[in-house]
Structure 1
Amino acid sequence: MIKNAIKKKFSFMDWRLLIPYIILSGFGILMVYSSSSYRAMTDYNNSEYFFYRQIIFTTLGLLGALIVSFLSKRLFKDEKLLMFVMLGLFGILAYLLLWPGTATKGARGWIYIGSFGFQPAEFMKLNLILYLAWFISKHQNRIDAVFYDTMKKPLAITAAAVAMVFLQPDLGGAAIIAFICLVMFLHSGVKAKYGIVTFGAIGALYGLVIIMVKTFGSSIPFMQSYQMERITSFIDPFADIQDSGYQVVNSYYALSRGGLFGVGIGESIQKSGYLPEPHTDFILSIVGEELGLMGIAFVLILFFYMVYRIFRNAIKMKDPFAQLVCVGIGTMFLVQGVINVGGATGLMPLTGVTFPFVSYGGSSLLVSAVSIGLVNNMHINDQIAKQPKQPK
């Protein structure tokens, strides 16, 4: 019985989603090895340090995606389980904020188990997506009529999550969570005017921050010095090449040096101490240097096709919960990818956001893989539900 159920689910797997994910993950292992070898040798006296860890994380992620694909959908709609996990994540985030000595590179967002570090904020993204999908699908009939009254609880939870991640400080993570929740709220059936007003307010706020930084500079009290540098480097990276603009300018050098076809795998110069995080934040810059514009195009085509496939699944699904899960996950990938590319090309401020599946990472890679498994799970259940009933 169980064997037949698994076999049936396997036949409905979304391979058009899974194949780009698997290719990107394999490509990520290759590029992490190439981009991190100098850093790994310098810091750990082992050029394959990050390479082996990336293989471990990718393998665990693939197993997680497969397991999640075959679990019962009811498990992801269990209110008690979702709230239990959420309270646990809020507790960990509070501990990281309040307990001294937990900061890594200025941010207090990491929990260490042995030599492996995990970011609770990454797991918060996925938990919030599931919680909001459950809540909105359950109360969808009331949302348009009494939006704020119905959505008080999820709005408060979202605001608390964004605030706690922002205070770590993790501007990129907070922005991703905010955009995920915003798009899911707008997909809940509210009037279009709410979306226009909200996105208009976000654009105005973004412009206001840029104007404040240009006008008042370091005198703004709520901004850390490194956050200020990231914004000033975005405004004009060449104004201070040796300090605030150092990373962006070296990213430009990497991209320009690669040209159309690149200088070859392993031949990057910028990874040799010029780009501080060549295997994480700036891995696309190394892809551009070693494989050229064609290499970047290969990654982006696969990535955006995968995102398209997730949103396409959302459109075609009948279950509101499954729709919202796919919308949330698709938004998470899209925003994360855009922020990473924007930072590497100087079109957006640097935030420390990695590129899904290609950058080195533990928490982000595991959460991204499980997210693919969730979309596949929703697709499988949707396809099974659409099958004609067998006569008894």
Structure 2
Amino acid sequence: MDKRRPRVPASPEKNRPRLRVVEDDTTEPEAPAPAARETEEAPRPREARRPEPTADRTPSRRDRIHRFWQFAEEGNPYTTFWLLLGSALALTVFGLVMVLSATAVESVGTVDGAYGVFLRQLTWAGIGLVGMFVVAFMPRGWLKKLAWPAMALGVLGLALVLTPLGYDVQGNRNWIRIGGFNGQPAELAKIALCLWTGVVLARKGPRVRELQHTIVPVLMPGAALIFAFILWGRDLGTALVFGFFLAAMLFVSGTKARYFFVAGATGAVGAVLLALMSPNRTVRIQAWLGINDACSLPQDFCYQSQQGLYALASGGFWGVGLGQSRQKWNYIPEAENDFIFTILGEELGLLGALTVLLLFATLALGMFRVASRSTETWVKITTVGIMAWVIGQTFINLAMVTGLLPVIGVPLPFISYGGSALTANLIAVGVVMNFAQTQRIEARERAAGSRSSGGKRAKGSKRSTSAKGAGVKSRRKPATV
């Protein structure tokens, strides 16, 4: 008889894995298998799974900031040219579309018809694009040679404004009419002053830090003549733009900071005096500050700015639609000029306004890259001057239409109506494109030179290795039988 005990199935509790007690031994225990480790380790508490403290992330944030700054400062020399070209063309197209939308309503029934103003702007855009490409691909040395003749022509054009050829527009005498040609000589004088100042300051070099070399001949008599003609024509807004980019060029060239404080204080006092000498400017500043009840005057100096704010507010995020603006129906005076950004914001909304601002930022990024990568002083100074001119004028116009500054009559580059202004802006971008094209060619030559030198080194090392091997073989004794 089989007296063995019957096998009883083990209970589930007995089948559970049990932890083995490992005695303290001198030998190092083996690491458990991954699967066993997962089953043996207890889950970590919630506090242990928290992210790393902020102090540990500081290096990564610094790296990201460094990479972003490196992207903005250096970038790729092959793409800077296309950044400038693409943003300039896109802004020009935006301007043409908005000029057509802002002027078609008021031009219906006139001699030129609904598309007369748009066709004139389109003609000037074509002339400006031709000039931009001509300047962009001309030899860079020609720009240096053209600096002095361009400066002479710029001063001569401003002097013609004070002759019978000049005429007033909205209280400012800054236009000339020669036959069927109308234009603002101050716009072309901006390019002339940028080129001439860059060449002169680069030639002076470190001597710019001395006061006499800072003043002569850049400020006296060069810039002084231009400011005299502009202020004689009562165009304070254009004078502010000239002063802004001229100060930026002097700063980049190495002028001492204390000179800027003295010049800034002098300029502020002069601007206040000029404003007090003109009743029109005084009332506009009072209307902007909301004092002396200037908005209740019969001229209604607050009307234009208020209607512009109404247009921006009614646009919302998406806008009311292209061509569907309500404020352009004779509510905003000169809607195609200084206040065209309000029409853009009304029709294209916040999305369209941000798109235009992004294009201006892209243009500024391309110019900043050209200036930072350049090894020539005159290229750096000239590029900074053009960038300060375009971006500074953009800031003044946007601050004016949004109420941050009083209405001073400064157009928006590339967008506002004005043939001479659009042509000057495109030619100025062409100058910077010329510098970017040169940097792209130099980068291509350096890359080709490094590849050729690398190939030569590789061939040279191969020859030396073979020669070394041949020398070793020659030193061996001949085998004996």
TM-score, length of structure 1 as denominator length:
0.86
The verdict on how the C-alpha distance between 1:68 and 1:170 changes in structure 2, with shifts beyond 3 A counting, is same
1:92 equivalent in alignment to 2:92: no
Among residues 56, 67, 70, which one is paired with 2:134 in the alignment? 67
**Match runs of 1:370-385 below 5 Å:** 370-385=427-442
More helix by share: 1
Deviation at 1:360, TM superposition (A): 1.4
Residue 368 of structure 1 corresponds to 425
Distance 1:199 1:105 in 2: 28
1:347 equivalent in alignment to 2:394: no
1:110 equivalent in alignment to 2:175: yes
Which amino acid counterpart does residue 219 of structure 2 have in structure 1?
Answer: L
Decide which moves more: 230-239 or 54-63. 230-239
1:172–1:352 contact (8 Å) kept in structure 2: yes
Deviation at 1:261, TM superposition (A): 1.4
Deviation at 1:317, TM superposition (A): 0.8
Distance 2:214 2:240 in 1: 24
2:135–2:434 contact (8 Å) kept in structure 1: yes
**Match runs of 1:46-61 below 5 Å:** 46-61=113-128
**SS of 1:102's equivalent?**
strand
1:313–1:379 contact (8 Å) kept in structure 2: yes
Which amino acid counterpart does residue 163 of structure 1 have in structure 2?
Answer: A
The verdict on how the C-alpha distance between 1:346 and 1:326 changes in structure 2, with shifts beyond 3 A counting, is same
Distance 1:304 1:356 in 2: 13
Deviation at 1:113, TM superposition (A): 3.8
Distance 2:265 2:365 in 1: 25
Q: Deviations over 1:53-73 (max 9, x none)?
A: 121111211111111111111
Residue 234 of structure 2 corresponds to 169
Decide which moves more: 119-128 or 87-96. 87-96
Residue 307 of structure 1 corresponds to 364
Which amino acid counterpart does residue 91 of structure 2 have in structure 1?
Answer: L
Distance 2:265 2:440 in 1: 38
Residue 217 of structure 1 corresponds to none
2:104–2:115 contact (8 Å) kept in structure 1: yes
Q: Deviations over 1:171-191 (max 9, x none)?
A: 111111111111111111123
Structure 2: which 5+ runs fail to align? Answer: 1-77, 454-481
Distance 2:437 2:399 in 1: 34
Residue 284 of structure 2 corresponds to 230
Which amino acid counterpart does residue 167 of structure 2 have in structure 1?
Answer: T
Among residues 287, 310, 326, which one is paired with 2:344 in the alignment? 287
1:153 equivalent in alignment to 2:217: yes
**SS of 2:413's equivalent?**
coil
Structure 1: which 5+ runs fail to align? Answer: 1-10, 214-219
- Bigger Rg, which one: 2
RMSD: 2.5
Deviation at 1:246, TM superposition (A): 1.1
Residue 326 of structure 1 corresponds to 383
1:139–1:150 contact (8 Å) kept in structure 2: no
Which amino acid counterpart does residue 260 of structure 1 have in structure 2?
Answer: F
**Match runs of 1:210-229 below 5 Å:** 220=276, 222-223=277-278, 225-229=279-283
1:232–1:244 contact (8 Å) kept in structure 2: no
Deviation at 1:128, TM superposition (A): 0.4
Which amino acid counterpart does residue 83 of structure 1 have in structure 2?
Answer: W
The verdict on how the C-alpha distance between 1:97 and 1:360 changes in structure 2, with shifts beyond 3 A counting, is same
Percent of residue pairs bearing the same amino acid type: 32
Deviation at 1:293, TM superposition (A): 1.4
Residue 15 of structure 1 corresponds to 82
Deviation at 1:195, TM superposition (A): 3.7
Distance 1:108 1:36 in 2: 24
1:136–1:188 contact (8 Å) kept in structure 2: yes
TM-score, length of structure 2 as denominator length:
0.71
1:236–1:245 contact (8 Å) kept in structure 2: no
**SS of 2:177's equivalent?**
strand
Residue 195 of structure 2 corresponds to 130
Which amino acid counterpart does residue 212 of structure 2 have in structure 1?
Answer: Y
The alignment of Structure 1 onto Structure 2 pairs a total of residues equal to: 369
Residue 295 of structure 2 corresponds to 240
Q: Deviations over 1:298-344 (max 9, x none)?
A: 11111122112212211111111111111000000111101111111
Q: Deviations over 1:229-258 (max 9, x none)?
A: 432332239852661111101111111111
Deviation at 1:17, TM superposition (A): 1.4
Among residues 248, 253, 261, which one is paired with 1:183 in the alignment? 248
Residue 259 of structure 2 corresponds to 194
Distance 2:329 2:179 in 1: 28
Residue 34 of structure 1 corresponds to 101
Among residues 310, 315, 339, which one is paired with 1:258 in the alignment? 315
Which amino acid counterpart does residue 398 of structure 2 have in structure 1?
Answer: V
**SS of 1:89's equivalent?**
helix
Structure having greater relative contact order (Cα 8 Å, sep ≥ 6): 1
Distance 2:257 2:163 in 1: 40
2:80–2:366 contact (8 Å) kept in structure 1: no
Which amino acid counterpart does residue 284 of structure 2 have in structure 1?
Answer: R
**SS of 2:386's equivalent?**
helix
2:165–2:176 contact (8 Å) kept in structure 1: no
The verdict on how the C-alpha distance between 1:188 and 1:31 changes in structure 2, with shifts beyond 3 A counting, is same
2:319–2:345 contact (8 Å) kept in structure 1: yes
The verdict on how the C-alpha distance between 1:308 and 1:154 changes in structure 2, with shifts beyond 3 A counting, is same
Distance 2:216 2:142 in 1: 25
2:379–2:435 contact (8 Å) kept in structure 1: yes
Distance 2:232 2:109 in 1: 32
The verdict on how the C-alpha distance between 1:233 and 1:117 changes in structure 2, with shifts beyond 3 A counting, is farther
Distance 1:101 1:58 in 2: 24
1:318–1:382 contact (8 Å) kept in structure 2: no
Which amino acid counterpart does residue 99 of structure 2 have in structure 1?
Answer: V
The verdict on how the C-alpha distance between 1:45 and 1:122 changes in structure 2, with shifts beyond 3 A counting, is closer
Residue 274 of structure 1 corresponds to 331
Which amino acid counterpart does residue 309 of structure 1 have in structure 2?
Answer: G
Deviation at 1:151, TM superposition (A): 3.5
